[in-house]
């Protein structure tokens, strides 16, 4: 069952849906997320669901199917989907063949639903153009793994410099400034020597400490 975080009906017109899916392990704990807007940019629904141990591509298709189902259930007839899975987009457009036995039933179901619409479009975007859907997918994976979804990360503001340094040492029981600096904790994985954060971005110019779970 799709987890709908917020939903409301709107008038007719072209809907815009950003959808994303992901897996931690591929296959591994997987989920999808989607944000559906009307033609004026009003958010009609946010979808987020954990789907068990699946691959990234299965999660991507699951998100697309959820968006199509929501659109039909709410009596809309025109939909543009924006996704960052180039494979899924080109398969839906007929530019790539669907050879995977896991993906073909999902591809068939997605086309069955899309054919019920008067208008259907699907376009590719880079991951940066799908940030909220990506966050909702990661939230779904967190829930499925028994973790509390992390709040949206905002860049930390640099602390204002002090007017003048003091020569006196810290008072007894107090912590030094190096001990009180906030730390940004992100989950991720390392592949081919490159750090890939999940559900966030690494600020420029920082040192990274990797802790194996």
**Per residue in 143-172, pLDDT tens?**
999 988 766 543 333 333 333 333 334 444
Read off the pLDDT of each residue in 6-35 and give the average, rounded to a whole number: 86
Question: Considering the domain boundaries, does residue 200 fall inside one?
Answer: no
Q: For residue 150, is it within any domain? A: no
Alpha-carbon span 33 to 71, nearest angstrom: 15
pLDDT tens digits for range 109-127: 999 999 999 999 999 999 8
Give the integer Cα–Cα distance in Å for 63 and 139. Answer: 14
Whole-model pTM over 0.85: no
User: Quick one: pLDDT at residue 107?
Assistant: 98
50's tokens: 């954990």
Tell me, yes or no, whether 86 lies in a domain: yes
- Give domain status of residue 96, yes or no: yes
Residue 202 located in a structural domain: no
Res 17: pLDDT: 98
Instruction: List the domain range (segments joined by +) for residue 76.
Output: 4-144
Residue 134 placed within a domain: yes
pLDDT in tens, 72-110: 999 999 999 999 999 999 999 999 999 999 999 999 999
In a domain, 19, yes or no: yes
Phi and psi for 203 in degrees, rounded to 5?
-65, 155
**Is residue 179 in some structural domain?**
no
Question: Residue 40: what are its φ and ψ, rounded to 5°?
Answer: -95, 0
How far apart, in whole angstroms, are the C-alpha atoms of residue 25 and residue 16?
A: 30
β-bridge pairing 14-23 and 28-37 = antiparallel
| Digit-coded pLDDT (tens) for 50-65 | 999 999 999 999 999 9
Spatial separation of the C-alpha atoms in residues 55 and 103, rounded to whole Å = 10
Here the CATH number for the domain that contains residue 140 is: 3.30.420.10
Looking at the structure of the chain, the number of domains it has is 1
Tokens of 180: 């009180």
Helix (H, G, I), strand (E, B) or coil at 163: coil
């Amino acid at each position: 069952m799709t987890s709908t975080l917020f939903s409301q009906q709107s008038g007719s017109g072209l809907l815009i849906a950003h959808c994303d899916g992901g897996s931690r392990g591929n296959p591994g704990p997987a989920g999808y997320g989607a944000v559906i807007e009307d033609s004026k940019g009003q958010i009609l629904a946010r979808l987020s669901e954990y789907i068990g141990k699946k691959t990234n591509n299965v999660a991507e298709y699951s998100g697309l199917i959820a968006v199509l189902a929501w659109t039909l259930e709410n009596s809309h007839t025109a939909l543009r989907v924006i996704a960052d899975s180039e494979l899924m987009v080109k398969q839906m457009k007929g530019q790539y063949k669907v050879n995977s036995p896991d993906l073909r039933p999902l591809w068939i179901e997605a086309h069955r639903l899309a054919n019920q619409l008067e208008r259907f479009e699907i376009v590719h975007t880079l991951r940066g153009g799908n940030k909220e859907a990506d966050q909702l997918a990661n939230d779904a994976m967190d829930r499925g793994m028994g973790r509390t979804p992390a709040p949206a990360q905002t860049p930390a503001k640099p602390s204002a410099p002090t007017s003048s340094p003091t020569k006196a040492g810290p008072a007894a029981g107090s912590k030094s400034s190096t001990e009180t600096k906030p730390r940004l904790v992100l989950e991720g994985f390392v592949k081919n020597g490159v750090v890939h954060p999940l559900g966030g971005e690494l600020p420029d110019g920082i040192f990274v400490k990797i802790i194996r779970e």
